[in-house]
């Protein structure tokens, strides 16, 4: 998936995988460490560049990201979580 690609089914699958672990958090940003650990786990088969591209495409889209999974967080909260997660993933890659 390239960064300029539109938000599609593949991107939706990736975002569901990122949202799933935080769906019951009172503040999803509290679950970022857990999600980052998942993204960097050996069993995770999605390249980091594809994860970041899916986040970028989702955030740039008009899609209702809060509706990707049944959960109670608002669209604003899910988008804030994904933005914070993206920044964290970027920082992790810069650290090497």
Residue 36 placed within a domain: yes
* pTM > 0.85: yes or no: yes
Does residue 55 form part of some domain? yes
Q: What is the total count of domains within the chain? A: 1
C-alpha to C-alpha distances, 73 to 18, 48, 60, 65, nearest whole angstrom: 14, 25, 19, 10
> Is 40 domain-assigned?
yes
Asked if 34 and 83 count as a contact pair (C-beta separation under 8 A), the reply is no
Residue span of the structural domain in which 26 resides: 9-95
Asked whether residue 77 is assigned to any structural domain, the reply reads yes
Domain assignment present for residue 1? The answer is no
pLDDT tens sequence across 3-60 = 445 789 999 999 999 999 999 999 999 999 999 999 989 888 899 999 999 999 999 9
Can you tell me which residue has the tokens 């594809």? 50
Provide the pLDDT for residue 5: 56
pLDDT of residue 96: 65
Please report whether residue 22 resides in a domain. yes
| Domain-located, residue 62 | yes
Q: Is residue 65 part of a domain?
A: yes
């Amino acid at each position: 998936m390239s960064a300029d690609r539109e938000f599609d089914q593949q991107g939706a699958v990736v975002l569901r995988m990122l949202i799933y672990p935080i769906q019951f958090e009172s503040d999803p940003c509290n679950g970022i460490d857990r999600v980052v650990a998942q993204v960097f786990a050996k069993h995770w088969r999605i390249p980091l560049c594809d994860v970041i591209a899916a986040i970028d495409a989702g955030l740039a889209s008009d899609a209702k990201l809060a509706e990707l999974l049944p959960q109670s967080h608002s669209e604003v909260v899910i988008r804030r979580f994904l933005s914070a997660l993206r920044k964290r993933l970027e920082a992790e890659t810069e650290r090497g």
